[in-house]
Structure 1
Amino acid sequence: MSVTESVQRQIAKVPQGEPFTNSRFLRLGSRAAVDKALSRLVEGGAIQRVARGVFVRPKQSRFVGNVMPDVSRVVEVIARDHGETVQVHGAEAARRFKLSTQMPTTPVYYTNGPTREIRIGNLKVKLMHTSSQRKLQHAGKMPGLALSALWYLGKNNISTEVVKRVQEGLSEEEFETLLSSRMPAWMSEAFRQYEAGRVHG
């Protein structure tokens, strides 16, 4: 069986709309042979290239045609491929918890890898290096998103109302995970005040 056929057979098992990288197929042949096979499949329309070295089996919607995978999902796949941890940047995290209405123009993620820009479709995405493991806790999960939002808001903008809103966006289990995270004293204090208020309220 040729490398192209082997790659094609493996791709058929990948769910439509789920991004994957070329490294997934390196056991099937040399990198050059795998890249050539993937290029042929892109030309034939069997798969689409969404970023450098990242592909997807097109998912069709009768309303919008091709459905592109979520940017976060593509970033996660790229990060995993490079052995990196990534976390949604605080500005976007705060927006998702309805703590800010600011819409970041360029999606930004924290990473323990190098700072760089990647292009996903027509979108520029920024990966910003951080050496703070606390900022990468629970990466890709809701408690991690909450931490990212709180770091972004900072010491002077965290109130019991903010903590309440964060709790409303999490399940009970997720909130417990958040409470047991490593956080700076000012963040812990906001949670302590919130818990105390709930007890007395």
Structure 2
Amino acid sequence: MFLTTVETTMISIAENILNEARKQPEGTVITARGMLHLGSRAAVDQALSRLVRSGHLMRIARGAYVVPVKSRFGARPPSAKRVIEALAATGGESIAAHGAAAANALGLTSQVPVQQCFVTSGRGKRLSLGAQTLEIRHVPHWQMALKSRPAGDAIRAVAWLGERHARQAFAKLRKTLPETEWQALTSARPLLPTWMAKAVSEAAANETGANR
């Protein structure tokens, strides 16, 4: 069986894409746009599809691919943490834990999220990592003001809890957050919704009054 020139070119482009992809850290997201130096858009798209069919790449979303991780148990998707970190690094946008996960981590709720979910100030998206689905939801810019640091997690946690629980949550956070994080949180009040900024101010005032 003889291959046509087009087929030979396609195989060559696919091999070059795979070679470059395998040099990247685990979880690096591969896109056609990032491989256009290897061929035309149509040729790169076809090569990526060929690599998915052969199992050398996994499609995690439309136009987004990752290299599966090989182990003695077979191939598996990269870890969700690595993929999220790679997306944040290459996309130039902040991605952080969802408010529900942040609230649980900060001890504000015992409720454990069933599904892994993240938030971003950019476009929302849904990723498929094998049997696992990751959702990245768009949130207002103020929720990402302090990015993924503890003070930022506190903002997203209280945003998820809602105005009704804000005063109690911030009173607890005042005692548990490191001083530098609490100061960062209070400094961010001009960026927050009125109800949240007021709750932060009340927690700070109550602490000041208790120390007199």
Is TM-score (shorter-chain normalized) higher than 0.5?
yes
How far, CA to CA, are the matches of 2:156 and 2:174 in structure 1?
Answer: 13
1:97 aligned to which of 99, 106, 109 = 106
Who is 1:50 aligned against?
A: 60
**Cα drift, residue 58 of structure 1:** 3.1
2:144 maps to 1:136: yes
Aligned residue for 2:65, secondary structure, equals strand
**Cα drift, residue 149 of structure 1:** 0.5
2:159 maps to 1:151: yes
Structure 1 pair 73–115 and aligned structure 2 pair: CA distance change class (3 A): closer
1:36 aligned to which of 36, 46, 50 = 46
Who is 2:196 aligned against?
A: 187
Compare the two structures and name the one with the higher helix fraction. 2
1:106 aligned to which of 107, 112, 115 = 115
The count of corresponding residues between Structure 1 and Structure 2 is 194
Cα RMSD (Å): 3.7
Aligned residue for 1:49, secondary structure, equals strand
Who is 2:79 aligned against?
A: 69
Q: TM-score, normalised by structure 1?
A: 0.70
Equivalent position amino acid for 2:107 in 1: K
Larger Rg belongs to: 2
2:23 maps to 1:13: yes
**Cα drift, residue 116 of structure 1:** 6.2
**Cα drift, residue 162 of structure 1:** 3.4
Equivalent position amino acid for 2:42 in 1: A
Tell me if the contact between 1:90 and 1:149 (Cα under 8 Å) persists in the aligned partners.
Answer: yes
**Cα drift, residue 20 of structure 1:** 0.7
Who is 1:163 aligned against?
A: 174
Equivalent position amino acid for 2:59 in 1: R
Unaligned runs of 5+ in 2: 1-8
How far, CA to CA, are the matches of 1:176 and 1:62 in structure 2?
Answer: 48
How far, CA to CA, are the matches of 2:78 and 2:28 in structure 1?
Answer: 9
Tell me if the contact between 1:21 and 1:78 (Cα under 8 Å) persists in the aligned partners.
Answer: no
Identity of aligned residues (%): 30
How far, CA to CA, are the matches of 1:5 and 1:63 in structure 2?
Answer: 25
Equivalent position amino acid for 1:183 in 2: L
Question: Which is further off, 40-49 or 20-29?
Answer: 40-49
**Cα drift, residue 129 of structure 1:** 4.3
Structure 1 pair 46–124 and aligned structure 2 pair: CA distance change class (3 A): closer
Who is 2:131 aligned against?
A: 122
How far, CA to CA, are the matches of 2:103 and 2:77 in structure 1?
Answer: 26
Question: Which is further off, 177-186 or 151-160?
Answer: 177-186
How far, CA to CA, are the matches of 1:120 and 1:78 in structure 2?
Answer: 17
